[in-house]
Amino acid sequence: MRSHWRWWLSVPMTVMLCSGPRGAEAAAPPAGDPPPPPADEPAGTRPETPAPGSRPAERKAGPALRFDERRHDFGEIQDTAVVTHAFRFVNTSEKTVHPVRPSMCCGMTAAFDKEVYAPGAPGVLTVVFHPLHRGGRIERDISIGARELPGAVAATVTVAGVVVPVVVVEPQAMQVAELRRGETVRRRFLVTGLGADFDVAAVEGCGKFVQAVVGSPQAVVRDGRQFRTVPVEVTVSPEAPLGMLERQLIVRTTNAQYPKAYFLVRAEVVGEFRASPRYAMGQGVKAGEEFTVTTRVVSRDGLPFLITSVDAGAASGPKVETDWRPAVVEGSIGYEITVRGTAPERPGTFGGTLSVATDRAGEEPLRILYRIAVAKK
């Protein structure tokens, strides 16, 4: 969900289908009347001569779409509402027009009621705007092309309005790059809803290691509108296991139009040790040849330790062997771990997970992924 509290922020955007000189509608008609033909010249056989500095008339040579209106303002709309407007037009040229469907974005679509418009035929271009997760002032120019006018624009219409978000979550996520196991982390996010009685009824989806506590709502007035803001405190338990912890929280609200919102919790729980690089990768290994990949393990606190075992476990490819030896890793004493084996005869990718056990009491084994990419001989 995107949050937008800059209500009057103007966000202009133009959706252009093509570029280049404008079509028949933009062409300037010739100024004045051409001189009459000589008496001995049949009327209508002499070509029209445009006035100096003017462009030749193209109205009859290409499509011309005349719209009843060129701009529509939706006014103030809530982001839960879907609004529609029909732009009506007439093909004022003497040729059949095949309009090109505009390529839209930002929650907006546009479509013609027909694929072909004969000379003099009326038509409708319907514009639909889905403002969900948007806010503030919007204005969109819709440029319309036609197959008969390659590289040009037959007409342009504009829609505008002010979007009022009904429910906004700020921020939308809690992300912790490294959370040491045994530590507690807390974050707070705010849920703001339209109306003097807005509230958060519950927060679901926390799971075993995430807790969410809903606070008391506070009334706020923004741009003359009544809102209420509800704080929610999220806590990640120190008992969370090693690895990536990810929970999508569901925020149940009292707003009937917007009954639920979302908040993402993502934290990588780490232990006393880390690998550098995090993954042992082997590239360009030839089929049937021996390979060797390495990674290093170091203590986060810089204290000495011993590796007691490295288990390659079940791999998706051939059996591998591992060994380790002391090494200096980023200025601290650690270990270099080597994985070696023989690549399979068929090209592809295989790998597994190393489980590195240490003499540190109560510490879970460090898990390190390794991958080998096998190429043809």
* pLDDT, tens only, 281-291: 988 889 899 99
Q: What is the C-alpha to C-alpha distance for residues 334 and 355, in angstroms, rounded to an integer?
A: 16
- Express each pLDDT in 213-232 by its tens digit: 999 999 999 888 899 999 99
What are 367-377's pLDDT values in tens digits? Answer: 999 999 999 88
Q: Which residues are registered as beta bridge partners of 213?
A: 233
Beta strands, E only, 69-116: 71-78, 83-91, 99-100, 108-112
231-271 residue pLDDT tens: 999 999 999 998 899 999 999 999 998 999 999 999 999 99
Q: Averaged over 154-169, what is the pLDDT?
A: 91
**Residue 366: what residue type?**
L
Ranges 47-61, 195-209, 333-347: which has the least confidence: 47-61
Q: For residues 117 and 128, what is the distance between their CA atoms, to the nearest angstrom?
A: 22
Looking at this protein, which amino acid is placed at residue 49? T
DSSP symbol at 95? S
State both tokens at 53.
């500095």
* pLDDT value, residue 152: 78
Q: What are the backbone dihedrals phi and psi of residue 25, each rounded to the nearest 5 degrees, phi first?
A: -70, -30
Pairing of strands 243-253, 225-236: unpaired
Cβ proximity of 198 and 228 under 8 Å? yes
Stretch 318-330: mean pLDDT: 91
CA atoms of 218 and 228, how far apart (whole Å)? 5
- What is the average pLDDT score of the chain? 83
Q: Does the pLDDT of residue 364 top 70, yes or no?
A: yes
Quote the pLDDT of residue 65: 87
pLDDT digit string (tens) for 173-190? 999 999 999 999 999 999
What's the whole-number mean pLDDT along residues 338-364?
A: 92
Residues 35-62: what's their mean pLDDT?
43
Quick one: what percent of the chain has pLDDT higher than 90? Answer: 56
- Residue with the larger pLDDT of the pair 11 and 89: 89
pLDDT score recorded for residue 63 = 56
Residue 60: predicted pLDDT: 38
Q: How many residues does the chain have?
A: 377
Judged against a pLDDT cut of 60, whether residue 337 lies above it is answered with yes
DSSP string over 107-154: TEEEEES-S-B-TT-EEEEEEEE--TT--EEEEEEEEEEETTSTTS-S
